[in-house]
Amino acid sequence: MAATSASLASQLYIGLRRPCPKLDAFNSQSFPAFDPNLRLSLSPPKPSRAVVAMAGTGKFFVGGNWKCNGTKDSISKLVSDLNSAKLEPDVDVVVAPPFLYIDQVKNSLTERIEISAQNSWVGKGGAFTGEISVEQLKDLGSKWVILGHSERRHIIGENDEFIGKKAAYALSQGLGVIACIGELLEDKEAGKTFDVCFQQLKAFADAVPSWDNIVIAYEPVWAIGTGKVATPQQAQEVHAALRDWLKKNVSAEVASKTRIIYGGSVNGGNSAELAKQEDIDGFLVGGASLKGPEFATIVNSVTSKKVAA
């Protein structure tokens, strides 16, 4: 029996780098320094690839990733602000509290807003200390899970294959997946934005049984929590390329209906201009999602999409 359990654990862990030097050495200096004078351009110095801009047909989607933030009291205040906010009706709105507070949020938040987890295990629960299973998340009322976030990739050490397996299992159990992809600063500077994003996207495509319950979140790592945000044109360029990749490698139908949202220092001041871009179908919001009124402003940026249309 012990041998069988060990074999199962070995299979589940395939694709997860162990040991993880980045995690062992992690400190506040682990993130790359950002030059305030850096010219932010996603386009490589060589001529960029031709892409087909193909606007999605899915409903606008805004997710709030609360990350490892909050206490019972501060989350109660945030939930109260969200409950009293006036949100545009034609937007899917999701928030992802820390695991410890999912039950509290689920029991007090308006049903208008759905609950997401920030991570889930690659298979059924069991002897996996510290992990959270999809079954447990569903038991608490979660409808979504965020997978492949850069902080899981580059700090914890999860690789493309492992993330793809996690997504496949979550989907097989009826949980929606917010599939995160995005390039590091050095990738962008080397003109590898498309290459990195396509590789990460392919790992999802190779593993998932269907795209019916997947939202793609493009989050350039150099823009997450840094205050630096891709310009609307830069974000649109990558989103259009991602949609074109789906068209060529999955199907035109999937390319059209799959929502591709943007994340990376999105706030109440820049969301309206970003939302006007035809291939930006919403946002995954970090720090600004911890402020109820500002998060509502981002949700309501869908009105800019209507004007742009």
In a domain, 11, yes or no: no
In a domain, 271, yes or no: yes
Catalytically active residues are 149, 219
Q: pLDDT category, 309, cuts 50, 70, 90?
A: low
What total of structural domains would you count in the chain?
A: 1
Q: pLDDT category, 296, cuts 50, 70, 90?
A: very high
Per-residue pLDDT reduced to its tens digit, 51-80: 333 366 789 999 999 999 999 999 999 999
For residue 201, pLDDT beyond 70: yes
User: What gap in Å lies between CA 173 and CA 175, rounded to an integer?
Assistant: 6
Here the contacts of 40-43 (C-beta below 8 Å, separation 24 or greater) are: 40/228, 40/230, 40/231, 40/234, 41/234, 42/188, 42/193, 42/220, 42/230, 42/234, 42/237, 42/238, 43/191, 43/234, 43/237
Report the predicted TM-score, pTM, of the whole model to 2 decimal places.
0.84
Q: Which pLDDT value is given to residue 55? A: 62
Question: In the structure encoding, which two tokens stand for residue 212, read together?
Answer: 């019916």
Contact by Cβ (8 Å): 218, 262: yes
Interior angle at CA 148, CA 201 and CA 69, nearest 5: 150
For residue 29, pLDDT beyond 70: no
Q: Which pLDDT value is given to residue 35? A: 40
Q: Which domain holds residue 288?
A: 60-81+92-98+131-308
Q: Which residue has the tokens 């351009």?
A: 41
Using a 10 angstrom Cβ sphere, with 0-12 exposed, 13-18 middle and 19 or more buried, the burial of residue 33 is: exposed
Q: Which pLDDT value is given to residue 305? A: 86
In a domain, 145, yes or no: yes
Q: What is the CATH number of the domain that holds 202?
A: 3.20.20.70
Three-state DSSP state, 2: helix
